[in-house]
Amino acid sequence: MKPYRFLPIEDCGEPLVPIPAGRIGLWQPPPYQALGAPYAQLGPYHLRQGVLTALLAAQDHLEKHHPGWRLLVYDAYRPVTVQRYMVDYTLQTLIATRKLVASALTVNQCEALLAEVYQVWAVPSDDPRTPPPHSTGAAVDLTLMDGAGRPADMGSAIDELSPRSLPDYFAPAGPVPDARYYELRSLLNQVMTGVGFVRHPEEWWHFSLGDQLWAWQLGRPAARYGRVGD
């Protein structure tokens, strides 16, 4: 179990609110909906009110220094049912990609494959004390969109199961130095952390504000947002 999941939660009760498409770019179609993920009443482009306020401040900061650029949200609110669906979808995709037969896998092989999946996907826990970050409405997956409206090439795809997902993979002292990707990832990190978000240690695209991961990274005694919705 990841260490941040042991932190207590003192939910402040803020509502989930929609992300305004006019100011923030929203990936279309929503990636997990396109794969058949079972969203209920609310789609993915919602955040807690305080998290959205910070995200809009990050957009203002980005545009001030890079006119015409926008944040492009890939995914935000994610019910536990969707989390469970995507964990299974990713596992099945991994099995198919490696030309394995699911029914022939040993227990150890299944555990090893799931360990790879859980490098990117949080455990879809039903326990309200250990919610997946996105189920709290306090986590957002996003990238940059340039002045021509094109998603920036960040060196790897969001949700990619590879070491390239590590934020500093392309840093000068990283495994494969590449100034282009490192500078873009650094820019995204700067505009987000500058308004209070923290970046996931193993995912260049994932940022949180107020959930257990955020509290753990900042040394806070408790999270401000817990699981919301189904």
Residue 13, sorted as left (phi over 0), alpha (psi -120 to 50) or beta, turns out to be: left
Per-residue confidence (pLDDT) for residue 1, from 0 to 100: 63
Task: Flag whether pLDDT at 27 surpasses 90.
Answer: yes
Domains annotated for the chain, with CATH where assigned, are 3-218 (3.30.1380.10)
Confidence bin at 18 (pLDDT 50/70/90): very high
Q: Of residues 130 and 22, which shows the higher confidence score?
A: 130
Q: Taking the model in full, what pTM does it have?
A: 0.95
Q: Coil, helix or strand for 210?
A: coil
Six token digits for residue 63: 């545009």
Per-residue confidence (pLDDT) for residue 41, from 0 to 100: 86
45: which residues sit within 8 A by CB, 6+ positions away?
A: 18, 19, 21, 26, 30, 73, 76, 77
Active site positions, annotated: 203
Per-residue confidence (pLDDT) for residue 163, from 0 to 100: 95
Confidence bin at 3 (pLDDT 50/70/90): confident
